[in-house]
Each structure stands twice: as C-alpha cells, then as structure tokens.
Chain A
C-alpha cells in the first residue's frame, strides 16, 4: 500500500443531477477521486448520499434523462468515459469495467443457465467457440469456489442460493481478458452474514490473485473495515472525507465520519453503554440544499460559516483530506 501505483480511473469534479417532476436533485456535487491499480476504494455513505450515482456514472448506467452530467470528466486508460457513445461504453462494460450488483437475481437473466450467460461474455468479446467458452466458465466457477462447477454451469439462476448467485456474478465480472476495474455496488447487502463473510473473503482473495481494482460501494462500515484500502465518505452528494482505511477508523476528522462510527452499536466504546451517540436530525432535502455544507443542520460543530459556503479541501496527511471548516475541533473517541 505504501508505494503509489498507477492511476487506473480518475473522476474529476463530477456533478450529476436528476431533473425530476418535483425539482432538480443535485445527486452528486463536485466529486473527484482516483482509483489506483490493484487497490480497493470504498465509497461509503447513507441512502441518497450519491455513492451509487457516482459509481454508475462510470459506465453510464444512470438513466439519462432524467439524469444529466453537469460537469466533470471520468478518465479511464486515457479516455474520458463521459464522452463515449452507447456502443463504445457497452464494449468497455464487458471487457475492462465490470460490475456486480446488490441483488444478483435481478442482474442475471432467469431464462438462461448461469453457465450460458457467462460463456456468452467469452463468445461475444473474445470470439471463442461455445465449447471453449464453457470450459473457461467452469474454470471461473472453480476460481470463485462454486462447488461442483461442471454441474452448476447448467443451473438456472433461481436454482442457486443467494451466495452462489453472487459468486456467479463475480465469475461473470471476471470473464474478460483484462479485468481492470470491478465496481461492486453493495455486493453483500442482500446476503446473510455468514454468506457475506464468504463473499468478502472471495473478493479479497481474487484481488490478490488477479491484479484488479475494486470500487466498492457500501453503507456498512463493517464491510469498509474488512475490505478497503482507501475510503471516500460521502454525504448528501458531497465528498466530505477521504483517507486510508486506518486513518478513517482511528482519526476521523469530519464530524459526519465520526458520527457514522459512533452510530455503530458494535463500536467498542459501547461495551457497557446503554445509549448510542446518535447524530440528531435527518438528511436535508436534496432539492433545496444551498451552497453551504449539507451536514450543517445536524452537526455539533457547525458555525455560521458552515451554512454559507462548502469548505475547501484541507490536506491532513499524505492520504488524508477533509472538507470541513471546523475539522480541528473534531477529536476521535
């Protein structure tokens, strides 16, 4: 983790909005982030913070319209993905950028066997024969530790358990000649905790075997602790803190990051406590957020300035930045 590897994907000042019947929602505001080769970057935040919209902007999966890129660039291996046409991005989706979703049942086609769907990727993008493609699919099933792979390739999605379906999705994501970036959007949220543990282990294992970068989207700080190299914390469309995973957990400097950690009942500080230090209030209406910090109305450290302008970046260390006027008042623990 120490040496800095080459940047694979770079999101630069991305703003993304949705024009809805009830007003314009600025779902993502001025987000920048870099994903380096072989690293796992997690985007963490609560519902509506813009984490999925940011990730889906990469391979143009946000519905447009009503969605619209207001500003920014997404650079991947020398091209700005936002300028690509539909058929061009489709080509990238199967080969260099893959995606796994929260609910694998809805991401797989129910009328084809899982094997056929994965073999299809090999046949379409690598022009293999059906037999070659099936053999490669069985190899992938072995890689993602699906038991009895020769039999399982002939199963339909509904015949597999949730955990097995997610493994099949991961296998499909790996069915490319040069897996570069895997976007994992809440990949274990729908799974039971013992199955989640297996899938997280598998992803970590694969990351080391294949030099793959993972953009992991999650709301679960536990998953972040298990998986992340670096963490970007989002709140109401904004990036509020970015750091290596150890700094985020040990020395959070944004009041929201601290509040998120304090909201976890599993936080060791609550060993014998009977109350949690909860963040008060609720997320503001995304249609009416002004120019200030969106966390201002819930923040214990807010000052007058916070309501007026969104703070600029404060660099706290080599890999730790925070966007907060009053970060110096925030002490961990």
Chain B
C-alpha cells in the first residue's frame, strides 16, 4: 500500500445483482449475484489488478464503479463523493475524471465514424475547445498512443486489432482523466501486440500519473502490470495484497490453485507440477452455501460449509477470506 497516498475510489459493500429468468417454461426468476458485497479502496497512482475466472464478477465490478450498471446496494465514493447519489448531469461531469478502456477493439468503436470523430467525441460531448483545438488535441492524442495522425480520416476497419485498441486508449485519454478502468484491455490481442499495449499503458501512467483498475483473467498480465492485486471468486474478494506479497506469499486456497493452474513459462520440470483444484466453477446463480470455494477446496472443514468467511487482514496490507487461513475453525 503506498504510504500517504490518498484514496481515489472507495467501494463500500457494493452489490450488483441481476434478475434472470430460469430455464424452462416457468416464470420463476432468480438472482445472479455478480458482485456480492465488495469493499476496497483504490489509491491514487496505483495499478490495482483484478483477477479471476469468468463469472467471478470482475467486469461487473469495473462497470458498476463506472456506473455503467446501477448498483443493487452499497456505495462507490469518488474522492469522498457518492457516485450513485448524483443525478445524470452531475454524473456526466464525473466522466471527465473517470474513463474506461474496453476489451474488444472491434465492438467498442463505432464502425461508421472516422477515427478523429471517435477520439474527439468526449471533447464534443463536453464542449471542450474550439473545433480547431479539438482537431489539434486529437492529433496529439494519436501521437501519444503511437498512431500516425495522418490516419485520422480513416475508419476503424482499416486498422489492425492492436491499432484499434490504441484508438480506444486515445479516446479514454481525451479528457485527461485521473482514473481509468481497463476491462480486459489486452485480452483480445496477440501476444506480441499485447506486449506493446502493456508498455503503452505503463508509459502513459508514468507520464500522467493515472490510476488504473486493471481487470484481466490472465494472471501473468496482471502480475506484470499491477502494483496491487485483488483476486475474486463468485462475486467476492477472496484475497488482496501488494503484488509482491500476493505473488510470493498467497494464502487463499483459490489463489494458490490459480497460480498452480497457470501454464508454466518453461517446459523444465513440467512432470513434477502438482495441481490441486478439481471440478468446475459453480454457477453464480446458486453459489454453494458457506464459502463459495469449499466444494473445490482441499482444505475445507465443516465451518467452511456453513458460513462465508470475512475478508480479514493476515499481515499488514494483505487480507484473505478463508477460515482455515485465519485459523478460526
């Protein structure tokens, strides 16, 4: 945890439930608890990595923080101000400070608009500068993300996947935000292009002091880019710590499983690798009673089947939600 850094985002017991129709002909509805009581702080200037498998709620968390989803319960505070208490007009002003980069560089760019329009749209919406100034700003942004400004009259389909992701990044930068949610921002890219974009995100962060909430399923990417890492499983935080602490000293059985499941970086010693987790991720519609991970956990005891463990500090700045780790069994 950066000493003395101020908190930019506070998330307090945030819940986001989706109502969905169950299978079959009945009209019965059930609740999908995508985010189920998440509390965390994001500190200024950090890169907080959020990692987890599909359905763990990591993207919903990012989108709810950005208020792209309405919350079910809880609070999101931006520098102490409740985001959900704001009316839509005031929320629009918040987007000056908070932006998002999306996963799919194909569907997140309007195919009928020229690149200059796409990147300049935030400036148009917020009526910043004269049209000439906006054009100049767009050219500057394109250079900033490594695109040649002379391509500004082209359409998205004329660019490769990596270049499109650069367009999405330029759009997110247009308003000089403080806080950027990167939702699987490099997942759709080939590995050589992914490396370029990761470097770009780091360059920009150093230059402008952005704070990133970096959401990804790829542990290696998060491990590389983040300064702090949060692990989610079925809507809840299971472990959170500084990057080096989490990588070197993860304690939650799910985090351990995630690290062990991750493919090796070299074929050496691959025969000796042990894996602990069997079974599938349960459905978030009907998560198991007690700790959601207990059916797959090799250390589960009776208490794990009965009550969900609280997220508790195990060492300074390092918290985990596990009865066994907390020795409370």
How far apart are the CA atoms of A195 and B257 in the complex, in Å?
11
- Nearest residue in B to A244 (C-beta to C-beta)? B267
At the interface, yes or no: A46 with Cβ under 8 Å from chain B? yes
How far apart are the CA atoms of A279 and B195 in the complex, in Å?
8
B223 touches A266 (CB 8 A): yes
At the interface, yes or no: B262 with Cβ under 8 Å from chain A? yes
A225 touches B275 (CB 8 A): no
Q: A245-B267, A266-B223, A282-B163 are in contact. Are A196 and B198 (CB under 8 A)?
A: no
A194 touches B53 (CB 8 A): yes
Query: With a CB–CB cut-off of 8 A, which chain B residues contact A219?
Result: 190-191
At the interface, yes or no: B324 with Cβ under 8 Å from chain A? no
B191 touches A221 (CB 8 A): yes
Taking a contact as CB atoms closer than 8 A, the residue among A246, A259, A265, A282 that contacts B220 in the complex is A265
A193 touches B53 (CB 8 A): yes
How far apart are the CA atoms of A140 and B260 in the complex, in Å?
27
B275 touches A276 (CB 8 A): no
How far apart are the CA atoms of A267 and B266 in the complex, in Å?
9
Query: With a CB–CB cut-off of 8 A, which chain A residues contact B223?
Result: 265-266
A220 touches B280 (CB 8 A): no
Beta-carbon contacts under 8 Å, A277-333 to B: 277-280, 282-283
A282 touches B191 (CB 8 A): no
At the interface, yes or no: B270 with Cβ under 8 Å from chain A? yes
How far apart are the CA atoms of A319 and B198 in the complex, in Å?
34
At the interface, yes or no: B94 with Cβ under 8 Å from chain A? no
Query: With a CB–CB cut-off of 8 A, which chain A residues contact B54?
Result: 192
Beta-carbon contacts under 8 Å, B269-294 to A: 270, 275, 277-278, 280-281
Taking a contact as CB atoms closer than 8 A, the residue among B190, B198, B263, B278 that contacts A276 in the complex is B198
Taking a contact as CB atoms closer than 8 A, the residue among B161, B220, B260 that contacts A264 in the complex is B220
Query: With a CB–CB cut-off of 8 A, which chain B residues contact A224?
Result: 267
At the interface, yes or no: A198 with Cβ under 8 Å from chain B? yes
Query: With a CB–CB cut-off of 8 A, which chain B residues contact A193?
Result: 53, 217, 219, 258, 261-263
A263 touches B192 (CB 8 A): yes
Query: With a CB–CB cut-off of 8 A, which chain B residues contact A250?
Result: 266
At the interface, yes or no: B8 with Cβ under 8 Å from chain A? no
How far apart are the CA atoms of A228 and B191 in the complex, in Å?
19
How far apart are the CA atoms of A264 and B220 in the complex, in Å?
8
Q: Nearest Cβ distance between residue A233 and chain B, in whole angstroms?
A: 12
At the interface, yes or no: B194 with Cβ under 8 Å from chain A? yes
How far apart are the CA atoms of A62 and B114 in the complex, in Å?
35
How far apart are the CA atoms of A50 and B74 in the complex, in Å?
50
How far apart are the CA atoms of A226 and B54 in the complex, in Å?
22
B275 touches A249 (CB 8 A): no
- Nearest residue in B to A231 (C-beta to C-beta)? B267
Taking a contact as CB atoms closer than 8 A, the residue among B193, B261, B266 that contacts A249 in the complex is B266
Q: A194-B53, A226-B263, A226-B264 are in contact. Are A263 and B160 (CB under 8 A)?
A: no
At the interface, yes or no: A22 with Cβ under 8 Å from chain B? no
Query: With a CB–CB cut-off of 8 A, which chain A residues contact B195?
Result: 262-265, 276-279
Per DSSP, chain B at the interface is helix
A76-99 interface mask toward B, CB cutoff 8 Å, 1 = contact, 0 = none? Answer: 000000000000000000000000
Query: With a CB–CB cut-off of 8 A, which chain B residues contact A4?
Result: none
B278 touches A223 (CB 8 A): no
B191 touches A260 (CB 8 A): yes
A276 touches B199 (CB 8 A): yes
B190 touches A46 (CB 8 A): yes
A282 touches B162 (CB 8 A): yes
Query: With a CB–CB cut-off of 8 A, which chain A residues contact B260?
Result: 197
A265 touches B257 (CB 8 A): no
How far apart are the CA atoms of A192 and B54 in the complex, in Å?
7
At the interface, yes or no: A34 with Cβ under 8 Å from chain B? no
A194 touches B264 (CB 8 A): no
B191 touches A246 (CB 8 A): no
- Nearest residue in B to A249 (C-beta to C-beta)? B266
B265 touches A268 (CB 8 A): yes
At the interface, yes or no: A275 with Cβ under 8 Å from chain B? yes
Beta-carbon contacts under 8 Å, A197-234 to B: 197-198, 200-201, 219-226, 228
At the interface, yes or no: B225 with Cβ under 8 Å from chain A? yes
How far apart are the CA atoms of A228 and B268 in the complex, in Å?
12
How far apart are the CA atoms of A249 and B263 in the complex, in Å?
14
Query: With a CB–CB cut-off of 8 A, which chain B residues contact A228?
Result: 267
Most buried by B among A193, A250, A262, A275: A193
Beta-carbon contacts under 8 Å, B142-158 to A: none
How far apart are the CA atoms of A192 and B225 in the complex, in Å?
20
B202 touches A274 (CB 8 A): yes
How far apart are the CA atoms of A40 and B195 in the complex, in Å?
28
A201 touches B275 (CB 8 A): yes
At the interface, yes or no: A163 with Cβ under 8 Å from chain B? yes
- Nearest residue in A to B146 (C-beta to C-beta)? A280
Query: With a CB–CB cut-off of 8 A, which chain B residues contact A198?
Result: 275, 278
At the interface, yes or no: A270 with Cβ under 8 Å from chain B? yes
Query: With a CB–CB cut-off of 8 A, which chain B residues contact A262?
Result: 195
Query: With a CB–CB cut-off of 8 A, which chain B residues contact A192?
Result: 53-54, 217, 281
How far apart are the CA atoms of A280 and B196 in the complex, in Å?
7
At the interface, yes or no: B14 with Cβ under 8 Å from chain A? no
How far apart are the CA atoms of A260 and B190 in the complex, in Å?
10
How far apart are the CA atoms of A118 and B270 in the complex, in Å?
32
How far apart are the CA atoms of A128 and B16 in the complex, in Å?
52
Query: With a CB–CB cut-off of 8 A, which chain B residues contact A266?
Result: 220, 223-224, 262, 265
Q: Nearest Cβ distance between residue B64 and chain A, in whole angstroms?
A: 22
Query: With a CB–CB cut-off of 8 A, which chain A residues contact B192?
Result: 46, 259-260, 263, 278-279
Q: Nearest Cβ distance between residue A294 and chain B, in whole angstroms?
A: 13
A264 touches B265 (CB 8 A): yes
Other A-B contacts than A163-B280, A225-B266, A263-B194, 4 sampled, CB-CB below 8 A, are A47-B161, A164-B280, A250-B266, A263-B195
- Show the binding face of B for A, using Cβ within 8 Å: 53-54, 160-163, 190-196, 198-199, 202, 217, 219-221, 223-225, 257-258, 260-268, 270, 275, 277-278, 280-281
11 A-B contacts (beta carbon < 8 Å): A161-B281, A194-B257, A194-B281, A197-B275, A225-B265, A264-B220, A266-B223, A266-B262, A268-B266, A275-B199, A277-B195
